[in-house]
Amino acid sequence: MAEEVESSESGSGNLFNKIIALAAGEAHTLALTANGDVYSWGRGTFGRLGTASETDHLFPARINFDSDGDKRVKIVAIAAGAYHSLAVSDKVILIGVTPKGASCHVSNDGSSSGKRNQETEFSALKGIAMMDQYGAGDTMSGFLELGSPNSSASGSERKKLMISSVKGGGMMSAAIDDLGSLWMWGNFPEPQKGKSMESEFSLTSNCNPIPIWNFHGHTVVKVACGNEHVVALVTAGEVYKGSDLLCYSWGGNTHGQLGLGDRQSRQYPEVIEPFNSDAPWTVYEVACGAFHTALLAQRSPSDTLESVCWTFGQGDNGQLGQGTTQSTLSPEPVKGLPRNAFLISVDCGLFHTSVVSSAGDVWSWGMEKGLGLCPEASYSGPDAGDAILPLLIPCSGLYGPKFPEPVQVVCGAAHTILLAGAGYKMWSWGRGWSGVLGNGKMIDCYSPTMALWPPLDADFREQSVKDGSDKSGAEKKTEDVIELERKLSMAAEDVKLLQSKLSLMERYASILHGATFGKPFEERDMPASLRGGGSFDIAKEWENMLESLDRGKLVRLEMFYRSMLAGVKDKLLKKRIQEILLEFQSSLPSDSTQRNK
């Protein structure tokens, strides 16, 4: 369910800076702050960032949900699919960020607003059906017309229906209303009401929210979506009592991602047997990758909090964390995770999985072959770059080795974002294309780096709000606010220029470092004198570096410089030969007859 926004300041920050939820898509990330703002960064293709353009953003950028009037829209929940984003506000039913940034707000009375654009809505119908996965346009009024599957109310009572949480999958979206009913739209597996083995599995394509009637009389608490499958946590009875959840799955099952012991797809929800009503395990978190699933479960009843991560489905890249690259058809516990660590969050990327414990330990496993984006993963052999068992991710710098006050971990296709510091700090690692890591860079990071948070404009906006509140609630822009915005714009341009120069220098340093040591350049490879900002003696630092290298690195360095020296000698020889030839040609007679003689 959507987390409630805090009403008071806590920790070292404020409501502008405190993040209460993260969401990650294929190559973009969303952050929801405690005061109801949403920030996005990463790849902007299809308008997934909601910034009214398809431009990539290297830093968190605030999405403008405000209506045409002076009324501010406050967001209470967010979600991200592969190429789309979703947000729920406290005053409107649903906001879907559509291609090229168009949005639609559906209000409680069933009316809709937002820019309609035929080119926008149908710009990606070539197998993607972008329109369908958002439920954009007047079609979202289907929430109001149909009413909740768990409600027999009619007329005006149905108009009070509100969405409490949303979730995005590959090409599908899901929402849970305040009565615990599940709705889905996009390209999704619409369940049949009865079990029929005769019908073939297929995905339904619909831009209208469709109620999932199979759970009528029960409460859907959480849901997760993959590319073709759905997993839901549903109460055994009518009301959620905290420990009576059953785990249902349905949809595509070519890799065993439903956890039902076979590869047969399902058009109807079935209970995953290790988590039925008689099982000793109760699932409390669920996440779906493209073709694999991860669950967090605790033993119940028990005097101690024993938390276990279970995975099943596609395992080609070790994303199941079970020590193999084989697919698993039934839930199996992840190997190597301590049983005494209570896991608070789990998420699945395209080919990797990450979990975080309440103590601040983070583990990741899997990842696409050759990327090597899991820290300390193997860089040789048939599984180069893959981690088939959980790897403990260290927190470098002042906070190590554990991450302080962890909140949530989210995974994109090839990147991971960790929210910690009670919501005031973010770490990221993985593929850095399009600025998806939020650290201002477009390079891959092999270990956690701090994302740029709070954003540059946070202090400016906070000050402008305070200034506005001192004037009897007047919200008109004063000259001081206009001047602040002008300075902010200039500062942002300067940051972009400096960032482009920094990115160029980092690439140049990475080329030299990679050619010398055979590994990408990392921040910890930087000399201590540079990190401290003091004076830099290149001769001294060179000697210190040589002293710290082991024999293998020294041999590699010697070979590199031998090859480089040989190349220099070769170039010198060629240049000398060219000079001799030029001198010889200049000494020859210019007359062709004399040259013939």
Q: What is the pLDDT of residues 239-294, one digit of tens each?
A: 887 778 899 999 999 999 999 999 999 999 999 988 877 778 889 999 999 999 99
Q: What is the pLDDT of residues 557-576, one digit of tens each?
A: 788 788 878 888 888 888 87
Structure confidence at residue 126 as a pLDDT band (50, 70, 90): very low
> Lowest mean pLDDT: which of 116-130, 145-159, 175-189, 338-352?
116-130
Q: What average pLDDT does range 491-510 have in this prediction?
A: 72
Task: Return the DSSP state at 153.
Answer: -
pLDDT of residue 370: 52
Q: What average pLDDT does range 307-324 have in this prediction?
A: 94
Asked if the model's pLDDT at residue 522 lies above 50, the reply is yes
Structure confidence at residue 106 as a pLDDT band (50, 70, 90): very low
pLDDT of residue 40: 95
Task: Return the DSSP state at 266.
Answer: E
Structure confidence at residue 494 as a pLDDT band (50, 70, 90): confident
Q: What is the pLDDT of residues 378-404, one digit of tens each?
A: 545 555 568 899 999 988 777 778 999
Q: What average pLDDT does range 424-433 have in this prediction?
A: 92
Q: What is the pLDDT of residues 347-367, one digit of tens each?
A: 999 999 999 999 999 999 998
Structure confidence at residue 308 as a pLDDT band (50, 70, 90): very high
Structure confidence at residue 509 as a pLDDT band (50, 70, 90): confident
Structure confidence at residue 585 as a pLDDT band (50, 70, 90): confident
**CATH: 3.10.620.30, 2.130.10.30, 1.20.1440.230, 3.30.1050.10. Which one for 19-98+159-193+201-376+384-450?**
2.130.10.30
Helix%, strand%, coil% for the chain, nearest 5: 25, 30, 45
Q: Which two tokens stand for residue 575?
A: 């240049």
What are the Cα distances from residue 500, in Å, to 42, 446, 492, 526? 16, 21, 12, 20
Is the CB of residue 419 less than 8 Å from the CB of residue 344?
A: no
Asked if the model's pLDDT at residue 456 lies above 70, the reply is no
Asked if the model's pLDDT at residue 19 lies above 80, the reply is yes
Q: What is the pLDDT of residues 157-169, one digit of tens each?
A: 444 568 889 999 9
The reported pTM is 0.71
What are the Cα distances from residue 547, in Å, to 541, 542, 543? 10, 9, 6
Asked if the model's pLDDT at residue 175 lies above 90, the reply is yes
Beta-carbon count within 10 A of 51 CB: 18
pLDDT of residue 141: 43
pLDDT of residue 545: 75
pLDDT of residue 233: 96
The domain spans of the chain are 19-98+159-193+201-376+384-450, 481-587
What are the Cα distances from residue 239, in Å, to 65, 157, 245? 34, 21, 10
Q: What is the pLDDT of residues 187-237, one digit of tens each?
A: 999 988 666 655 678 899 988 889 999 999 999 999 999 999 999 999 988
Report which secondary-structure segment, H or E, holds 447.
Answer: strand 445-450
Q: What average pLDDT does range 44-55 have in this prediction?
A: 90
pLDDT of residue 169: 94
Averaged pLDDT score across all residues of the chain: 77
pLDDT of residue 437: 94
Beta strands in 156-291 (DSSP E): 163-168, 172-177, 182-188, 204-211, 220-225, 229-235, 245-251, 266-271, 281-288
Q: What average pLDDT does range 320-331 have in this prediction?
A: 95
> Lowest mean pLDDT: which of 25-39, 352-366, 476-490?
476-490
Q: What average pLDDT does range 528-550 have in this prediction?
A: 68
Asked if the model's pLDDT at residue 130 lies above 70, the reply is no
